[in-house]
């Protein structure tokens, strides 16, 4: 490479006034040039460092490795970052060590190879990362302290909160492998922090008020807040159960036990599930069961009950008071078919395309508590039985879910 006067002037201007450390070394690793910014970074003057080996800027325990890396780079020079995937450190004149990011480039002049190192001091960034980690840990400790305070406020909460903690531990174990993959962990943290906020606030406020209602005539007030706490804990338990179910499905821990149910056994099971919904129904809501089945059916009774419970609870949740819910079942050729029809808020055509995806919430259901996992779990349960589910719905006109299980 031949430098004319203008080229040399432009290079020196860029080199000396750059806002990043720049050092040039020859093929033997000796420093030939250093810019002002790098002098300030390392504490050396130009005449102190020119001609010195580049390893003068490397911490003692890393010098030998650096010589090896430098030799390999010169064998196949290419523009790239140093230390991909690991932390890099440099050493100042006063022997203090600091973290850096380094990019390498190369050029030839009069058949001699030179390497340019572009150096960024990332001490502030590393400090910010450490501060963020510390703040996160402090927040975690504060949350733990809040749970302990809730437990100590009233003896009436102790059994319920212990059960909740046990459920949380089970959830963490069930989701550990999936959470390590990254995606589910991120979504879980985001969703759990959002969905737990309201019930936790209810528990904290009610627990605080219970402590104030100590008089003999305050029994009804205490009961009111205990009921609020139980409802909040129940909502949290439903969220945890959704995540536990998802974890078992993802890890293949769901065992399918297909069995043949007679007509009477099927109706008994359907009635049992319908009756279990009584505690969830709103005033005036009635579930009508119409089963025209005459032949035996083959299915996994436990999975079928979970599918029914999920779909019925959704129908109850998204339908108004005094509205009917219809559960119909019939034999259609070689399939067992049942449907659940409600008169609720309905689902848009756009949302129906994503209805069975994990964590999906319909736009008009965003303000209604839920995890966005229920229908995804239902679809996976049905897949285990070689079944399928479909949906027919219009906004404000209700929804019909149709389930088909081959016989």
Does 294 lie in the same domain as 394? yes
Can you give the CATH number for the domain in which 306 is found?
A: 3.30.565.10
Count structural domains, the chain.
Answer: 3
DSSP 289-348: EEE---S-EEE-HHHHHHHHHHHHHHHHHTS-TT-EEEEEEEEETTEEEEEEE--SS---
Do 243 and 188 form a contact (C-beta atoms < 8 A)?
yes
- Examine the fold and report which residue of 121, 149, 171 is the final residue of a domain before the chain moves on: 121
Does 383 lie in the same domain as 311? yes
Does 44 lie in the same domain as 60? yes
3 state DSSP class of 84? coil
Does 270 lie in the same domain as 223? no
Domain range enclosing 204: 128-250
- Examine the fold and report which residue of 89, 121, 153 is the final residue of a domain before the chain moves on: 121
Does 280 lie in the same domain as 315? yes
Does 295 lie in the same domain as 321? yes
252 token code pair: 């293949």
Does 169 lie in the same domain as 188? yes
3 state DSSP class of 209? helix
Q: How far apart are CA 319 and CA 156, in angstroms?
A: 33
Pairing of strands 335-341, 324-332: antiparallel
Does 166 lie in the same domain as 78? no
Alpha helices by DSSP H, listed for 116-218, are 123-153, 155-180, 183-212
Q: How far apart are CA 276 and CA 270, in angstroms?
A: 10
Does 367 lie in the same domain as 266? yes
How far from 82 is each of 22, 27, 87, 104, CA to CA, in Å? 14, 17, 10, 7
Does 338 lie in the same domain as 396? yes
Does 139 lie in the same domain as 24? no
Q: Would you give per-residue pLDDT tens digits along the chain (407 residues)?
A: 444 555 666 777 778 888 899 999 999 999 999 999 999 999 999 899 999 999 999 999 999 888 888 888 888 888 777 766 678 999 999 999 999 999 898 888 888 889 999 999 999 999 998 899 898 888 888 888 887 876 677 777 778 777 877 777 777 775 665 554 556 656 666 666 656 666 676 777 777 777 777 777 777 777 777 767 876 676 677 677 777 787 788 788 888 999 999 999 999 999 999 999 988 899 999 999 999 888 899 999 999 999 999 999 999 999 999 999 999 999 988 999 999 999 999 999 999 999 999 889 899 987 887 788 899 999 999 999 999 999 999 999 999 999 999 99
SS3 percent helix, strand, coil of the chain, rounded to 5, is 55, 20, 25
Does 166 lie in the same domain as 103? no
Q: How far apart are CA 311 and CA 160, in angstroms?
A: 27
- Structure-derived torsion over alpha carbons of residues 152, 157, 158, 160, reported in degrees to the nearest 10: -150
Q: How far apart are CA 341 and CA 129, in angstroms?
A: 52
What is the reported pTM? 0.48
How far from 346 is each of 47, 58, 283, 306, 374, CA to CA, in Å? 78, 66, 20, 22, 16
Can you give the CATH number for the domain in which 52 is found?
A: 3.30.450.20
Q: How far apart are CA 55 and CA 111, in angstroms?
A: 24
- Examine the fold and report which residue of 250, 268, 300 is the final residue of a domain before the chain moves on: 250
27 CB burial (10 A radius; 0-12, 13-18, 19+): middle
């Amino acid at each position: 490479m031949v430098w004319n006067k203008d080229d040399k002037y432009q290079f020196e201007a860029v080199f000396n006034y750059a806002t990043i450390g720049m050092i040039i070394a020859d093929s033997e690793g000796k420093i030939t040039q250093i810019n002002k910014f790098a002098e300030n970074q390392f504490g050396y003057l130009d005449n102190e460092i020119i001609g010195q080996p580049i390893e003068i800027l490397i911490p003692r325990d890393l010098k030998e490795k650096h010589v090896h890396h430098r030799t390999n780079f010169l064998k196949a020079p290419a523009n790239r970052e140093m230390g991909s995937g690991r932390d890099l450190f440099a050493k100042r004149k006063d022997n203090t060590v600091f973290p850096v990011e380094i990019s390498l480039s190369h050029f030839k002049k009069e058949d001699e190879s030179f390497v340019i190192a572009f150096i960024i001091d990332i001490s502030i960034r590393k400090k910010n990362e450490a501060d963020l980690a510390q703040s996160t840990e402090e927040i975690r400790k504060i949350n733990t302290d809040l749970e302990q305070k809730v437990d100590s406020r009233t003896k009436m909460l102790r059994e319920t909160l212990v059960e909740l903690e046990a459920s949380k531990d089970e959830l963490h174990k069930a989701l550990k492998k999936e959470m390590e993959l990254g995606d589910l962990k991120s979504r879980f943290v985001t969703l759990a922090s959002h969905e737990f906020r309201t019930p936790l606030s209810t528990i904290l406020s009610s627990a605080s008020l219970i402590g104030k209602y100590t008089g003999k005539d305050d029994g009804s007030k205490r009961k009111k807040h205990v009921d609020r706490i139980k409802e909040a804990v129940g909502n949290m338990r439903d969220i945890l159960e959704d995540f536990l179910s998802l974890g078992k499905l993802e890890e293949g821990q769901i065992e399918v036990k297909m069995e043949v149910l007679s007509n009477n056994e099927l109706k008994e099971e359907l009635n049992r599930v319908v009756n279990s919904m009584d505690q969830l129904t709103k005033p005036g809501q009635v579930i009508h069961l119409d089963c025209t089945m005459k032949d035996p059916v083959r299915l996994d009774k436990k999975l079928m009950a979970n599918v029914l419970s999920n779909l019925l609870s959704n129908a109850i949740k998204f339908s108004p008071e005094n509205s009917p819910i219809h559960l119909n079942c019939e034999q259609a050729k070689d399939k067992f078919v049942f449907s659940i029809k409600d008169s609720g808020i309905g689902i848009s055509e756009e949302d129906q395309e994503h209805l069975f995806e994990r964590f999906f919430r319909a736009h008009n259901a965003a303000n209604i508590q839920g995890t966005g996992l229920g229908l995804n779990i239902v679809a996976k349960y049905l897949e285990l039985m070689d079944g399928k589910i479909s949906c027919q719905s219009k906004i404000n006109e209700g929804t019909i879910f149709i389930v088909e299980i081959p016989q």
